Amino acid sequence: MHPCLSCGACCAHYRVSFHWSEADPAFGGTVPAALTETMDPHRLAMRGTWARRPRCIALEAEIGVRSRCTIHPQRPSVCREVAASWEAGQPSPQCDKARTAHGLPALTPEDWLGRVTS
Ligand code: SF4
Ligand code: SF4
């Protein structure tokens, strides 16, 4: 199983903000606007992530056990850019920091052994 499917830590650690056009279909945006809130004139945030204890409204998870992004194909660009540590052969500080904050060990290269990559 992909390690992210039993994690979800990054979706419950960071403020997830992005340009408003990502939620405007007229500009090719795909993020459901109802799941966002306005941060400033230029940026939206995923609801729930602009909080003292962030947790994205689109996250369906028990952190460290099972995790699913309910808008995965429509998720913001910033979510697509977070790499899981060692998936591409190098550590990811964002991944490690989020997992550590949730009491999970950072991923290692061994976590990817035996997985069939495409
Ligand atoms: S913290 Fe890392 S392993 Fe966990 S869901 Fe995010 S990218 Fe995946
Ligand atoms: S939109 Fe999906 S991938 Fe992005 S923070 Fe929310 S649950 Fe995670």
* pLDDT tens digit sequence for 47-71: 999 999 999 999 999 999 999 999 9
Q: Is the CB of 63 under 6 A from ligand 1?
A: no
Q: Say if 117 falls within a structural domain.
A: no
Query: 61: which 2 tokens?
Result: 């998870």
Write the residue with the smallest CA distance to atom 5 of ligand 2: 11
In the chain, the percentage of residues whose pLDDT exceeds 70 is 97
Q: Place 21 in a pLDDT band, splitting at 50, 70 and 90.
A: very high
Terminal-residue alpha carbon distance, the chain: 14
35 belongs to a structural domain: yes
Domain total for the chain? Answer: 1
Q: Do the domain assignments include residue 115?
A: no
More confident position, 14 or 1: 14
Domain assignment present for residue 25? The answer is: yes
Closest CA to 113 of 85, 84, 87, 81: 87
pLDDT(116) > 90? no
| 3-class state of residue 37 by DSSP | strand
Ligand 1 centroid, distance to 5 Cα (angstroms): 8
Please list, in sequence order, all residues whose beta carbon lies within 8 angstroms of the beta carbon of residue 63, skipping any fewer than 6 positions away.
7, 8, 9, 12, 102, 104
| Mean pLDDT confidence for 64-88 | 97
Ligand 1 lined by 3 (C-beta under 6 Å): yes
Q: Is 22 within the bounds of a domain?
A: yes
Question: What is the domain range of residue 54?
Answer: 3-109
